[in-house]
Amino acid sequence: MAGLGTRHAPSFRLISAHFALGLVGMLGFAAALLWRGAAVEGHFFQPTLLGLTHLCVLGWLVPVAIGAMHQLIPVVFEVPVRSERLAWLAFALYVPGALGFMTRLWAFDLGWLFIISAGLLVTAIILYAVNLLATLARAAHVSLTGAYVIAALGYLMLAACLGFALAYNLHRPYLYIDHVRVLRAHAHAAGLGFFGLLVMGVAYRLLEMFLLSHVSALGPGWVALGALNLALAALLTNFVFGQVAVLTWFGVLAALVGVAAFLLQVRRLYRARIKRSTDAAWLHSLAAFGYLALAAAVGAAIALAGRPEALRQRLELGYAVLFLPGFVGSIVVGQLYKIVPFLIWFHRFSAYVGLKKVPSASELLAPRPQWAQLGLMHAGLALLAAGVVAPSAPARLAGALLFAASAALHARNLGVLYRRRP
């Protein structure tokens, strides 16, 4: 844990602002799921689903991921953030951009406000990515984690640019190919390219820190990186330029090899761990790896199996639930239970060590509310995914209810942490 805070870390306010935004986004997404959970069915291209997806990713997952990268990159690579001012500027553009974009997309009001918001959003994302890449460029050497993060930031910029191109097409149609082709490329560049590679790359480092584990043979980690990049190259090209069966097969196979190699590397780290006790954060990570394996299987079934259109639509929605709130959301929630206590401890308690009795970072929040939140969240997500694929509106609503309770408890738990003082 001591590895999380050093003199290179940026201000506590910058990280807290991103985490607070992400928490508000999670609560908003949970409320929206409760409100519109019954309508999560049919083809994915419809205003409600577009709005819900972007509320989940732009409201909740991206702000936490960006905040965590600003904390972890300087610490892991021992270089300060290239420009904290630029990060604040990006934040100032991101908030109105994301809000305007999500609400206008949901209302399917595609006028000037929509396109200006999309412009602010893409500018903010590019500023964040360039600033973080410039930070990494100063590092003495690029480790396995660094290579994943660089690739992930490249895909984030690609996804945001494709998103803007799609938004402009909705505002003033100009694409001469079916926009759904570009949409699939956008969603995979963002989902697998950005979130997938980022979570995997950072997971190697965080598992080392939190499980006190060290493995010098990183072969499967590098194989996963190579295979996933090949998969993305094949799939993105194929989505946009045509349906060449051999490219689909190759892309799916490479993606499956990549996911399997990643899970193998995680297993090695887990086996070499010194810390034996398990906590809620670790179980969130285990659940995330389960969602990832399931999403990979469902994705392969969608790409390769012959099936009726109605089943395909249900599988596509199930795929999105498993991957976004399932895989990425579980990692985000679990890691906040590690990063936030440490930051509160580091900034408020560490100065008193040796002067008076100080609790450790892991003692700042009792375990029971963390376990309760874990149970509610995964029961909710499992019901939600089952209700989408089955399909069953009551199961989706019950899932949304449990997920909303878990989001409220997560907010309460982080609130307790933020109020802790020596």
Q: Which is nearer to ligand HEM, 186 or 338 (CB)?
A: 186
Q: Which is nearer to ligand HEM, 117 or 406 (CB)?
A: 117
CB of 310 to ligand HEM, least distance (A): 17
Q: Which is nearer to ligand HEM, 77 or 114 (CB)?
A: 114
CB of 298 to ligand HEM, least distance (A): 14
Q: How far apart are the first and last CA of the chain?
A: 19
CB of 412 to ligand HEM, least distance (A): 27
CB of 173 to ligand HEM, least distance (A): 10
Q: Which is nearer to ligand HEM, 60 or 349 (CB)?
A: 60
CB of 141 to ligand HEM, least distance (A): 28
Q: Which is nearer to ligand HEM, 82 or 184 (CB)?
A: 184
Give residue number: closest CB to ligand HEM.
163
Q: Which is nearer to ligand HEM, 53 or 71 (CB)?
A: 53
CB of 177 to ligand HEM, least distance (A): 11
Backbone angles phi and psi of 274, in degrees to 5: -95, -35
Q: Which is nearer to ligand HEM, 41 or 220 (CB)?
A: 41
CA–CA distance, 209 with 215 (Å, rounded to integer): 12
Q: Is 35 left (phi over 0), alpha (psi -120 to 50) or beta?
A: alpha
Q: Which is nearer to ligand HEM, 45 or 371 (CB)?
A: 45
CB of 322 to ligand HEM, least distance (A): 12
Q: Which is nearer to ligand HEM, 89 or 215 (CB)?
A: 89
CB of 241 to ligand HEM, least distance (A): 17
Enumerate binding residues for ligand HEM (CB under 6 A).
44-45, 49-50, 53-54, 57, 62, 118, 121-122, 125, 159-160, 163-164, 166-167, 170, 179-180, 183, 186-187, 190-191, 194, 320
Q: What distances in angstroms separate CA 262 from CA 181, 221, 248, one per listed residue?
A: 28, 6, 21
CB of 129 to ligand HEM, least distance (A): 11
Q: Which is nearer to ligand HEM, 65 or 269 (CB)?
A: 65
Side chain identity at residue 37, one-letter code: G
CB of 300 to ligand HEM, least distance (A): 18
Nearest to 198 by CA among 145, 255, 131, 133: 145
Distance of CA 164 to the CA centre of its chain: 20
